[in-house]
Chain A
Amino acid sequence: MIDLKQLHKSYYTEAISLHVLKGISLHIDSGEYVSVMGASGSGKSTLLNILGILDTYDSGEYYLDGTLMKNLSEKQAAHYRNEMIGFVFQSFNLIGFKNALENVALPLYYKNVSRKKRNIIAMELLDKMGLKEWAYHMPSELSGGQKQRVAIARAMISNPRIILADEPTGALDSQTTVEVMDVLTHLNKQGITTIIVTHEKSVADATNRIIHLKDGMIEYETRKENGVHNTYTYAAQNL
């Protein structure tokens, strides 16, 4: 599903250059439930953005479903994002002047689905998220947990094969965190590859595979095998 080979990424400013990802190699199978952990600045969000084709990389290779994601035009990138990937962000990123239903339905607008049809689909998703009564409320009227569930519904609406969540519980209290993680876990169980960037251990523990980043490199990863977490060093993985 996802194959990264020696991925490098640097950010340049006038004064300094910042080598953020230093040769990441990673394979994620379809349907996996993965979290990426690491301290601030370890490169986890950059990695997620590259996986989500929101950002480019300098060298190495990124294959998504067997296709090399390199030198894509804006239009192609938009197409892959729309067809393959659903995003969930820490700050929800809902459009403030659209109600919950319209926010959820928006990705289908770009797939030229009629307003009527996309509203029906969006309503079904909101219903699944337990937010049917909140469909016509504006984001400002929703709680953090509700907003994030709206965002997840929006990520789901175009039937993506991958969900990329960047600190999805970062802005939520512990009770709501549990609720949101339940939703994501449920989605993963339906076969959607789910990758969550987090620095909360409780969140990472809900996933089956935890990738630990440090200074732009994979330090080690932990896999839940038969209910037990086993640790593998990155080197060991490649050996």
Chain B
Amino acid sequence: MNDHLQEIFSTLKKNKLRTALTGLSVSWGIFILIVLLGAGNGLKNGVMSNFSSRAVNRISLWSGTTSIPYNGLKSGRNLHFMEKEVSTIHHEVTQSDLITARSDKSQTISYGSEYGTYQVRGVMPAYCEIEKLVIQQGDGRFINQLDINQTNKVIVLDQKIVEVLFKGKPALGQYVKVGQLMFKVIGINSKKEQWGGSNAYIPFSTSQVIFNPDKKFNQIMFTVNGLETKAANERFDESLRNLMGRSLSFDPQDKQALWVNNTQAEYIETMKIFGGITIFVSIIGIFTLIAGIVGVSNIMLVTVKERTREIGIRKAIGAPPSSILKSIILESIIITAIFGYVGLMLGIGVTELVNFLMEQAAAANASSDSMQMSVFKNPTVDIGYAVFATVVLIIAGVLAGYLPARKAVKVHPIEAMREE
């Protein structure tokens, strides 16, 4: 085999420039394929990371203002949830899993001489999992059912609030002042809000007692299971509106009365879009690659034409047809494989470089307050593509070489040797 390769390399070396130019078209094809796939992946990973910072199967409900008269009630009524809605959803919506009510109040939180104004959220224990808050080892715990039952005055603070108020001193177990009341710090959340704000979390029951004497609030969040298609989500949203409509007395068709944000439906839609983008990108990449293969095939044809005399001589001195066929196809495979790999490596290099630069930028951003929303992340392709590309390259080489090789086999030695 080594001997055959040496023989082939000696012919390839004969015309280095042309070999290089031929190979370049394949390199370019693979390079574009990898970069495009990387870009597609980057876009997908970026958007996915935004989804995954919260539960993807999350549904948020906001109570709104009615815009359609209903059951003798006028339009323009402000609607509010009460705790019964939470238990209605919990018990009647079979797909529901984790659930929390949420009421927000902007409050000044102070510790010693340090203070700041933050959103204080009254939430239930499931909030932690729905919003994927991060409470690290040694950073305490989130609000639990006991806190709810006993309306404990306990508080979980975002890392940034801790930094502002405590200036590096231990915060756990200390008391902070929220409005006029003292709350014990029981946990620190180190997940950053994508939009940069900082929150504090207190038991929902405590929040109701202190901030909402009328027991009204306007947000419920819960997770759902088993809604795999867009249609299923639409049906679910509709039945949810009907349920809430009955509970709060509004027309289920009244979109202003209840705002439903179904991340699951968005997620499914987005996945579909990215499926489309991946197909689109693959098609462009593959056509670029095909152009490269056609280029190789074309140049191999020219090469065979140019080497007619040499091939004739080889046949005259006893080269069997199979050997001629094999050598031309092998030449083609070697060109496509070597240059294809160069393109592959360059493509992977570029995607990795972009990834590296983006990670650097992200690390620099992490310490600042700027927005953490990303649309592009980890634009790399996995090893599966490299293996796939190797197979494609070899097949491409065979395809590109086959026609020229057939032509070479048909070369008639006498006529070939007459050519100058």
Chain A residues at the B interface, C-beta cutoff of 8 Å: 49, 52, 54-55, 74-75, 78-79, 81-83, 87, 89, 91, 93-98, 102, 106-107, 109-111, 114-115, 154, 158
Contact = CB atoms under 8 A, between A and B. Distances in A.
B373 interface: no
Contacts of A91: 417
Contact of B314 (A54, A96, A97, A106): A106
22 contacts: A49-B414, A54-B316, A55-B414, A75-B320, A75-B321, A75-B322, A78-B315, A78-B318, A81-B318, A82-B319, A83-B318, A93-B312, A93-B313, A93-B316, A94-B313, A95-B310, A96-B310, A102-B10, A106-B314, A109-B3, A115-B6, A154-B317
Contact of A97 (B14, B318, B323, B409): B14
A110 B313 CA distance: 12
A154 B414 CA distance: 18
Contacts of A154: 317
Nearest to A95: B310
A97 B317 contact: no
A115 B4 CA distance: 10
Interface in B388-420: 409, 413-414, 417
Interface of B: 3, 6-7, 10-11, 13-14, 309-310, 312-323, 409, 413-414, 417
Contacts of A93: 309, 312-313, 316, 417
A176 B140 CA distance: 102
Contacts of B322: 75
Contact of A110 (B6, B310, B319, B409): B319
B15 to A, nearest CB: 9
Main secondary structure of the interface of B (DSSP, over half): helix
Contacts of A52: 316
A115 B318 contact: no
Nearest to A115: B3
A108 to B, nearest CB: 10
B11 A97 contact: yes
B418 to A, nearest CB: 9
Contacts of B317: 81-82, 87, 106-107, 110, 154
A182 B323 CA distance: 35
A203 B230 CA distance: 93
B310 A79 contact: no
Contacts of B309: 93
Contact of B10 (A74, A82, A87, A98): A98
Contacts of B318: 78-79, 81-83, 107, 110-111, 158
Contacts of B310: 95-96
Q: Lowest 7 A-B CB distances belong to which pairs?
A: A82-B318, A78-B320, A97-B14, A74-B321, A107-B317, A81-B318, A93-B313
Nearest to B312: A93
B44 to A, nearest CB: 50
A209 to B, nearest CB: 25
Nearest to A85: B318
B114 to A, nearest CB: 82
A55 B6 CA distance: 31
A109 B10 CA distance: 13
A55 B317 CA distance: 14
